[in-house]
Structure 1
Amino acid sequence: MKSKLKRLGLLPKLLIAIFIGTILGLTTPRPVIGILATFNSLFGNFLEFSIPLIIIGFVVPGISNLGKGAGKILGITVAIAYISTVIAGSLAYFADSSAFPLFLKAGAVQLDASDPSKALVPAYFTIQMDPIMGVVPALLISFVLGLGASALKGDSIRNVFSEFGEIIARLIEKIILPLLPIYVLGVFANLTFTGKVFEILSVFIKVYGIVLILHCCILLIQYAVAGTVTKRNPLKLLKNMLPAYVTALGTQSSAATIPVTLARTKLNKVSDDVASFVVPLCATIHMSGSTITITSCSIAVLMLNGTPITIGKMYPFILMLGVTMVAAAGVPGGCIMAALGILQSMLGFNQTMLSLMIALYLAQDSFGTACNVTGDGAIAILMDKIKENTIRKKNKVPADTEPVG
């Protein structure tokens, strides 16, 4: 029985946890819910302690490793990937702002655990686990160390932070992710006990529908641009990438899907050297699907809680998402873990809201990852064309001749 449970993926475990949590919330007395709330409090405090470590462990190696490679093509690839991620977040913001008010009542569910009479069942006791630093200092330190390590000729500092990043990845894989189903079970048991869960679930089924539509929209935009630049059929290019999409649905990891993404990108007539450079790089820096999901879910949670949504609040958050998720792609659920810090510091999420965001994001993580990797193929096509044009210009070859390089 244990081995069967071990073989279950994270998504099935989360769905089972949501189901059991809902049943417990309907059938068990308040003391039992209090025990689950106590576990959630302890685990939530540990998560808060881990947030600065996760930021440093992901962002420093991610930025420092960008220094390896080849100058101009590296810079252009990073810029295109970041612009694509920001466009995806912007698309989500404007679409959500128009669509969510049609079915989501602002302030319908107060997700504030500070007043047990109007919110969730409180924990029996808590243990404070103070983070070693705040989120903003962690980000600033990560930028300074990452940029500094990428500028140095030696690999000593880069290797130290790469190994630190591996430690953080194992912390997530071996401790945080295995305990997440219990955490989600406790969240939904508490929400059900206090009568909030069915309203939340009914809202988020519709949110997921909009998120999937937005994933399709951003992929169509990405391949329309790639097809226009290369004068090729964008739908055919997108169709060739479908095996990578399906593989990512199963692995929930952009990094684990690299072999399939690479093969399908080459099928789209991208040169071997460009594909071999761009695809692994974009697997760690291009997060358009994840950005759509996190932006949409965060807007929905804020609206449910009655928090005003403004472009002045959301746009800096979207701009930061593309940076904080760098190198989080290798770990299933890594993107939402990396985003916890800015959800807390920039959008004011409390522990209850963070726990709900984790559950909601991970329930569809595979679709966000699939969108990410499929979009990587479009960036590779663009970069192949840019490289070809650069060679033509250098060699003064007319644009209407056969491809060069």
Structure 2
Amino acid sequence: MTTQPSLIKRLTSGSLVLQILIGIIAGVVLASVSPSTAKSIAFLGSLFVSALKAVAPVLVFILVASSIANQKKGEHTHVRPILLLYVIGTLASALVAVSMSFLFPTTLVLTAPEAAMAPPGGIGEVLNTLLFKVVDNPVNALMTGNFIGILAWGVALGLALHKASKSTKQMFHDVSESVTLIVRMVIRFAPIGIFGLVAQTVAETGFVALAGYGKLLAVLLGSMLFIALVVNPLVVFVRTRKNPYPLVLLCLRESGVTAFFTRSSAANVPVNLALCERLKLHEDTYSVSIPLGATINMAGAAITITVLTLAAVHTVGVEVDIATALLLSVVAAVSACGASGVAGGSLLLIPLACSLFGISNDVAMQVVAVGFIIGVVQDSAETALNSSTDVVFSAAACGQTELPKQ
């Protein structure tokens, strides 16, 4: 005699994407019907994001150390070609953003108050910050979610343990499996967390405030969609010579959707690692490429910096030649790699790009303030592109475009 599975078992074994979709719809409906109730359950979203951010640094540190310590001699990984794809993708994003900004020039009404946060003083400061992140204290790196520092210490510990005893290596492997299990448990709560995030966002902001910036948003989102649906598939096809769209659409659906609502590449690291595992990628490869991508693969940030900078340029009437536009693309791509991992982090790099055109810091900071106004959509789309691209390029470098069997 067969027995019906319990409700809890059906929920935990059901389609996570379908459950997230239900959570999104429920959040919109609740915020529309009762905004006060929606705001009162905002803690569900914050709790989910906090759980992801808490487990991600520990997962990355243990996973990287374990993978390198247990790596067999002569075993090939694909980290180097993935890094090349990250560079190509970020630079291509900046070039697309320049082209879109010239095809559809936008101007801004710069009456917004200045942002309170201080931007970096120059490209040297951005690179200096990245360098010091590498040598950060390991405890501080884990506490602050500094993935560059976490990767550096994980790699160093893994190399140091490479000649350790088998029992020590096995212990690290077992710890890695245990932390991965905890991550899976956290991810199963994604529908509830996203329900809270959507309800809070719609209740607090709606989309009325965005109407005045419709053209600017259209250029931003159009550039990001072009990268996600044209440039990234082209890169995958050139690398694998296979149809790229099944892989690209899978990553957008299962990584991009979650990243859109968490608005944090760091918080989406556990989601991406789980997806790479489902795709059966090499663990020694994705355990490094995914957390590294969350820090330096910033196609969406490059687009944001470029589009908003050129919007400021068009507003103040500065003439831009081809050479300066190309220089802006390079500066935006390099600066994007140093963007803060928090929501809106790329906006603080706009004054750096504006300085190329002699635009004052006062004007540039007003552009930053405009960025925060449209951030409810811009930053979400930016994070979705950044995070999903991490998996796309990791899979492409491994030559994997086949979808996992359900």
Q: Describe the shift of the 1:296–1:254 C-alpha distance in structure 2 as closer, same or farther (beyond 3 A).
A: same
CA displacement at 1:99 relative to structure 2? 2.2
Task: Check if 1:226 corresponds to 2:231.
Answer: no
Deviations 1:304-340 (A, max 9, x none): 2222233333332322233333364531112222x14
Change (3 A) 1:269 1:168: closer
Aligned twin of 1:236: 246
**For residue 136 of structure 2, what is the aligned residue in structure 1?**
158
1:142 Cα deviation (Å)?
A: 4.2
CA distance in 1, matches of 2:96, 2:293: 20
Give ranges in structure 2 of 5+ residues lacking alignment: 1-35, 46-63, 148-204, 401-406
Separation in structure 2 between the aligned mates of residue 373 and residue 138 of structure 1, nearest angstrom = 25
Matches within 5 A, 1:205-354: 205-220=214-229, 221-241=231-251, 242-326=253-337, 328=339, 330-337=341-348, 339-347=349-357, 348-354=359-365
The structural deviation recorded for 1:261 is: 1.9
Could you tell me the percent identity over the aligned residues? 24
Asked if the contact 2:286–2:394 (Cα under 8 Å) also holds between the matched residues in 1, the reply is: yes
- Give CA-to-partner distance per residue, 1:103-131, whole Å, 9 cap, x none: x47xx85x4xxxxxxxx6999xxx9x999
Which of residues 85, 88, 91 in structure 1 aligns to 2:93?
A: 88
1:245–1:370 contact (8 Å) kept in structure 2:
yes
What is the distance in 1 between the residues matched to 2:320 and 2:139?
36
What is the CA–CA distance in structure 1 between the aligned matches of 2:112 and 2:270, rounded to whole Å?
A: 47
Distance 2:88 2:354 in 1: 24
SS in 2 for 1:158: coil
- Tell whether the 8 Å contact from 2:261 to 2:380 is kept in structure 1 after alignment: yes
| d(CA) in 1 for partners of 2:290, 2:97 | 24
Match of 1:154 in 2: none
Q: After TM superposition, which residue ranges in structure 1, 4 or more long, deviate above 6 angstroms?
A: 68-72
Alignment of 1:170-189 (within 5 A): none
Cα–Cα, structure 1 residues 223 and 343, in superposed 2: closer, same or farther, change >3 Å? same
CA RMSD after TM alignment? 4.3
SS of structure 2 residue aligned to 1:385 = coil
Deviations 1:252-289 (A, max 9, x none): 00110112222233434423332222111111110112
Q: For structure 1, which runs of at least 5 residues remain unmatched after alignment?
A: 11-64, 112-119, 151-156, 170-184, 186-197, 387-405
* Whole-angstrom distance in 1 between the partners of 2:284 and 2:324: 41
CA contact (8 A) 1:265 1:275 kept: yes
1:138 matches 2:116: no
Kindly provide the amino acid, as one letter, of the partner of residue 392 in structure 2. A
Shift of 1:4: 4.1
Note closer, same or farther for the CA distance 1:231–1:205 as it changes in structure 2 (3 Å cut). same
Q: How many equivalent pairs are there?
A: 273
Aligned to 2:202: none
Asked whether the equivalents of residues 328 and 335 of structure 1 are also in contact (C-alpha less than 8 Å), the reply is yes
Write the letter of the residue equivalent to 1:138: E
Separation in structure 2 between the aligned mates of residue 270 and residue 205 of structure 1, nearest angstrom: 40
Supply the distance in 1 between the matched residues of 2:328 and 2:139 (Cα, whole angstroms).
Answer: 25
Name the amino acid aligned to 2:383.
T
TM-score, length-scaled by structure 1: 0.55
Could you give the per-residue CA deviations for residues 36-67 of structure 1, whole angstroms, max 9, x where no partner exists?
xxxxxxxxxxxxxxxxxxxxxxxxxxxxx9xx
User: Which amino acid in the other structure matches residue 395 of structure 2?
Assistant: I
Does the CA-based 8 Å contact 2:113-2:366 persist in structure 1?
A: no
Evaluate the alpha carbon distance shift between residue 231 and residue 4 of structure 1 in structure 2; reply closer, same or farther with a 3 A threshold. same
Contact 1:253–1:329 (CA<8 Å) still a contact in 2?
no
Question: How has the CA–CA distance of structure 1 residues 381 and 234 changed in structure 2, closer, same or farther, with 3 Å as cutoff?
Answer: same
Kindly provide the CA deviation profile for residues 213-264 of structure 1, in whole angstroms up to 9, marking residues without a partner as x: 2212111221232145334332211221112111011100011011222223
Q: In the superposition, relative to structure 1, how do residues 268 and 350 fare at CA in structure 2: closer, same or farther (>3 Å)?
A: same
Pairs within 5 Å for 1:40-55: none
Matches within 5 A, 1:377-396: 377-385=391-399
Aligned to 2:380: 366
CA drift of 1:140 comes to 6.1
| Matching of residues 105-120 of structure 1 within 5 Å | 111=110
Is contact 2:86–2:393 with CA below 8 Å preserved after alignment?
A: yes
State whether residues 255 and 329 of structure 1, in contact with CA within 8 Å, keep that contact through their aligned partners in structure 2: no
CA contact (8 A) 2:281 2:398 kept: yes
In the other structure, the counterpart of 2:102 is 97
- How far residue 139 of structure 1 moved from its aligned partner, in angstroms, is 4.2
Aligned partner letter, 2:249: K
| Residues 349, 76 of structure 1: alpha-carbon distance in 2 compared, 3 angstrom cutoff | farther
Aligned to 1:86, the other structure's residue is in SS state helix
Q: 1:375 to 1:166 in 2, by over 3 A?
A: same
8 A Cα contact 2:259 2:384, kept in partner: yes
Report what 1:18 is aligned to.
none
CA distance in 2, matches of 1:207, 1:122: 19
Could you tell me which of 390, 396, 402 is aligned with 1:376? 390
Tell me: CA distance 1:327–1:233, structure 2 relative to 1, closer, same or farther (3 Å): same
